[in-house]
Amino acid sequence: MSFSRYLLSLLASLLFSFSISAQLLDHRQGELIVQLQETIDGKSWAAEQPAIEFFERLSIPLNIWLLRFDHSEHALMGMQDDLQKQKAVLSCQRNRLVKLRNTPNDALYGQQWQHRNIGQSGGLIDADFDTEFAWDVTTGGLTANGDTIVVCVIDNGVDTDHPDLMNQIWINRDEIPENGMDDDNNGYIDDVMGWDTRFENNDIDGGAHGTSVAGLIGAEGNNTIGVAGVNWNVQMMVVRSRFQTAESEVIQAYSYALEARMAYDSTGGAEGAYVVATNASWGLDRGQAEDSPIWCALYDVLGEEGILNVGATANLNLDVEQEGDLPTTCPSEYLIGVTNLRDDDMKRTDAAFGNISIDLGAYGENTFTTTINSNYGLFNGTSAATPNVTGAIALLYSAPCSAFGELLESDPAGAALFVKDAILNSVTANADLATITVTGGRLNINDAMMELMSFCDACLAPSSEALSLEGANAVRINWSTISSVDRVDLRYRSSGSSDWVTLSDVSPPYLLEGLSSCTSYEYQLLTDCTAASGSGPITSFITDGCCNLPLDLGIEILSPSAVALNWPAVLAATEYNLRYRIVGSGDWLETDALGGSLFLTNLQACSDYEIEIQTDCDTAITNFGLYQQFSTSGCGTCLDADYCQPPTLNNSSEWISEVNLGNLLDQLSEAEPLGYRNYGLGVEAPELVPGGVYPFSGQPAYSGTAFSEEFKIWIDLDQNGFFSSNEIVFEESAAGGEAARGDILIPENTPLGLTRMRIVMEFSNVNSACPVSTRTGEIEDYCVRIVESPGCVAPDRIWIDLTDDLVSVVNWTASAAPGGDYVLRYRLLGTSEWTTVEVSGNSFELDLSDQCAVFELQIASNCGGSTGAFSTAGFNSCTSTSEPEDHPVWSLAPNPADDFSQISVAAENPIEVLKLFDLNGRELASYQLNGVAQFRLPTSDLASGVYLIRLQTAGGREGVKRLLVR
């Protein structure tokens, strides 16, 4: 390696280390990936988007583009929704981050036992791939047609100077090295051995992870040194992604392989590369396929070009069908998901599984392979299991089988699925995988080779069969056949019949006509060769013309009072009937439509609706079905806007336990899953006024040591769906175990309406409303309603907490008056002299320990020196909630109460008498209960305030508790 190349590699590795520490979100901020309609000029389209500051094409054949915008000015979800609604856009997604699969470090167990296990690593004898037997058939190299087999290794680079890999690296012979030109016009300058998608250059050298992956796939065999890959003689195209990386680089990487294969096929092998497989020993733990539609759709496109794809699942003990994983849960038949086995034939505990997405297991624990700097060593995890499957695919492509060679020529996509079927149909059954993978088995390379070779003398059945309905009485059937097939016959019958109707010597695509509408049929394709015959599977279908419900009902919210409905037309339908109503209301409202769309208008804003559809045909009518719910907009920005989704925070050690905003909002909470909760729909929004000042306190809770936390609060004051830096209304620290306290000022010019408040608590400091952070903490969202001030009004609720030492703490809700200052006055009941104090905040401590009497108390808002009307409350300073030593054990819940409070005592000491008092000592109610363990005290008719409950048990014990009624 040259010194300049060494420096470049060193710089790249440093940048790679920095990128790992810098990228902490699950996506790149300010970036979206869009796939445009095939006919759209991406450059012109992107230039017309006012918010887009930069755009870059990721894939030429798929018309996929990376867009960048200023995320400090535009909310990502809002941008995504706006772009997705455009007709030019097929799909739009955020640019999510992916990472290498972790590789645990365990003890050495031997060398390359995965190919032939005789117990050298201490594992189970014969727990191996039976690779040596497959090598008796082929060791790789070329297809039966003479094409040089290429595997695309998408990873963090490969040690190109490694003696066991240097001859196996694919060389783009149409590119002149280091001349700074794109000699082959493929869009990549000097891509002699591959491409680096991060820095967009040709430096693919380095990468410990990728070096070990490449060695398992294709370390050079039979060269007297080192180790042997599954395929001794394969060319590996290296696409360096420098993980951690983002989905944009993933798409570029796959597109590089796709473009090379498309160029090869279109030029008869003169350009590009005969790529047959890609390897992804990386992914996104718990990633959801629905969040990455563009990434997932790539696998079908690759497969249709003849490329199989292999993906490692997570190194976590989880069910991917329940918790997610990318790429393995992408629903493509051209993707193989792999989990990890040990040398004792057991699945490693920290390897994911799934009976829909994880196809098989492969040995990946302590496998021996190439390592960086021309060395050798152990490699672990699903990252090691997966390349063994990829290497097996490449080996099968080199099978000396003329029939398979014909299939490669006639139907590359069918050939890819033929190889996949050979691998999955020949697994060795494994009890540890029986119910948690698709096949219930592990890779057996020799059996897969024998499965493929068994068809070499056969008359192969048609491949890539496809059927489409053509009206009510016909279907169109398409397929591919190899060149040695002389004739294809098609036979069909109605389901349940024993008699076939045979059509001889048919050609694709074939239109099968004269069928009955809405009838179940089955068909089969038969092949005839010179010395043999073959048959495809029996395939069932139902002709169109059934009176069914539509397959889907799409709902688009147009305005607070209107929605657009659309559904795929049912051939037999004459019209459609729809009924809808507000959820929980009475009668349905009904309407009808002739086609597959309808506008509903005059709906109530901010309401939840339910809707059903019915198909009406000439001869039948369906029941109402396809039930869906939708919510109209118009609730206000808090509920209608798409705010940035906070990342997952680790709140196992600290979380928000209570927030209080002017006593208008007092929310208790526990640690929320994933460190975030939106209370917007479940908690009543406090009303705040422009110019108002509201005390806030935020209390952390801890599972262990109490750390210093910072609280930062944003309110979307301009109600644009985005939290900007000038909307920070609170920023205070909380010392270990203490609460963060301060005031929130609502600016005078704040527009009225329902908007979002976000409370972020993080260890040490908070950096943004969607933190780029690995620290611990929690985030909570609330709705707040900005309302017009009714004037200098008094607080609407006052309550008094009485302590055991006769000190009274007066609390009140923040008033709707601006300012945040109050006048409090109190006096002995029946006297005329007031004691007056001015207070900022929503509580005040009265030290009345030297007095024992009934007091009258009043509070008014202080509005710029003008005192408004007073609210009044009374209390008895002598009342204490302390109870004698022999007090009964009892509980009062809920407290505060709305409609009732449940009083409960021990069953052996039941309630005899229960009395309710106000704070002036007046008895309001008395209940003779005669020995019950529980009593529900009604409170719905009581005014808001504090009350005293006195309880006497059958054993003569007495107790007093305070009850707050809201």
Say whether pLDDT at 4 is over 50. no
Strand runs (DSSP E) across 669-726, as ranges?
A: 676-678, 687-688, 693-702, 709-715
Give CA–CA dist 330/324, Å, rounded. Answer: 10
Query: Residue 934 — pLDDT band, cuts 50, 70, 90?
Result: confident
Q: What angle do CA 819, 720, 765 make, to 5 degrees?
A: 70
| Spatial contact of 294 and 64, defined as CB atoms under 8 Å apart | yes
Say whether pLDDT at 854 is over 80. no
Q: What is the DSSP string of 484-504?
A: T--EEEEEEEETT-SPPEEE-
Say whether pLDDT at 478 is over 60. yes
- Exposure string over 343-369, b if 16+ CB within 10 A, otherwise e: bebbbbeebbbbbebbbbbbbbbbbbb
Within a 10 A sphere around the Cβ of 762, how many other Cβ atoms?
21
Query: Residue 411 — pLDDT band, cuts 50, 70, 90?
Result: very high
Place of tokens 């599972």: 703
- Exposure string over 608-639, b if 16+ CB within 10 A, otherwise e: ebbbbbbbbbeeeebebebeeebbbbbbbbbb
Give the up-direction half-sphere exposure of residue 58: CA atoms within 13 A in the CB hemisphere: 29
Look up residue 153 and give its amino acid. Answer: V
Give CA–CA dist 842/822, Å, rounded. Answer: 8
Dump pLDDT digits (tens) for 232-263. Answer: 999 999 999 866 567 888 999 999 999 999 99
pLDDT at residue 922 in the model: 78
| Spatial contact of 285 and 86, defined as CB atoms under 8 Å apart | no
Within a 10 A sphere around the Cβ of 332, how many other Cβ atoms?
18
Query: Residue 883 — pLDDT band, cuts 50, 70, 90?
Result: very low
pLDDT at residue 774 in the model: 56
Say whether pLDDT at 13 is over 50. no
Say whether pLDDT at 432 is over 50. yes
Mean per-residue pLDDT for 115-134? 78
| H-run or E-run covering 287 | none
Cα 577 to Cα 567, 594, 609, distances in angstroms: 12, 9, 17
Give CA–CA dist 310/277, Å, rounded. Answer: 7
Place of tokens 């006769």: 806
Structure tokens at 213: 């992956």
> Which range (247-251, 405-409, 658-662) has the least confidence?
247-251
Structure tokens at 56: 């870059």
Dump pLDDT digits (tens) for 479-524. Answer: 999 999 999 999 999 999 999 999 999 999 999 999 999 999 999 9
Look up residue 739 and give its amino acid. Answer: A
Question: Cis omega before residue 537 (within 30°)?
Answer: no
pLDDT at residue 22 in the model: 33
Structure tokens at 860: 């008014």
Give CA–CA dist 710/777, Å, rounded. Answer: 9
Mean per-residue pLDDT for 274-283? 96
| Spatial contact of 294 and 93, defined as CB atoms under 8 Å apart | yes
Give CA–CA dist 328/212, Å, rounded. Answer: 21
Query: Residue 887 — pLDDT band, cuts 50, 70, 90?
Result: low
Whole-prediction pTM: 0.70
pLDDT at residue 248 in the model: 87
Give CA–CA dist 698/593, Å, rounded. Answer: 54
Q: What percent of the chain has a predicted confidence (pLDDT) above 90?
A: 68
Contact partners, residue 538, CB within 8 Å, separation at least 6: 522, 523, 524
SS3 923: strand
| Spatial contact of 547 and 622, defined as CB atoms under 8 Å apart | yes
Structure tokens at 321: 């069908």
pLDDT at residue 125 in the model: 80
Chain-centre distance for alpha carbon 743: 36
SS3 620: coil
Give CA–CA dist 273/261, Å, rounded. Answer: 5
Dump pLDDT digits (tens) for 295-327. Answer: 999 999 999 999 999 999 999 999 999 999 999
Nearest Cα neighbor of 365 from 301, 425, 432 is 432
Q: In whole numbers, what is the pLDDT of the chain averaged over residues? A: 89
> Which range (243-247, 446-450, 898-902) has the least confidence?
243-247
Give CA–CA dist 170/198, Å, rounded. Answer: 20
| Spatial contact of 710 and 701, defined as CB atoms under 8 Å apart | no
> Which range (1-10, 223-232, 889-898, 936-945) has the least confidence?
1-10
> Which range (154-163, 538-547, 863-872, 907-916) has the least confidence?
907-916
Give CA–CA dist 109/92, Å, rounded. Answer: 47
Say whether pLDDT at 367 is over 50. yes
Within a 10 A sphere around the Cβ of 531, how many other Cβ atoms?
7
The sheet carrying 475-480 orders its strands as: 463-469, 475-480, 510-512
> Which range (289-303, 393-407, 762-776) has the least confidence?
762-776
Say whether pLDDT at 16 is over 70. no
Say whether pLDDT at 878 is over 60. yes
Give CA–CA dist 601/706, Å, rounded. Answer: 55
Within a 10 A sphere around the Cβ of 759, how many other Cβ atoms?
24
pLDDT at residue 630 in the model: 94
pLDDT at residue 645 in the model: 83
Mean per-residue pLDDT for 595-617? 96
Dump pLDDT digits (tens) for 157-174. Answer: 999 999 999 999 999 999
Within a 10 A sphere around the Cβ of 569, how many other Cβ atoms?
13
Give CA–CA dist 593/579, Å, rounded. Answer: 11
Say whether pLDDT at 714 is over 50. yes
Query: Residue 649 — pLDDT band, cuts 50, 70, 90?
Result: confident
Query: Residue 918 — pLDDT band, cuts 50, 70, 90?
Result: confident
Q: What angle do CA 195, 201, 205 make, to 5 degrees?
A: 65
Chain-centre distance for alpha carbon 494: 44
Cα 300 to Cα 21, 116, 265, 313, 894, distances in angstroms: 33, 34, 17, 19, 56
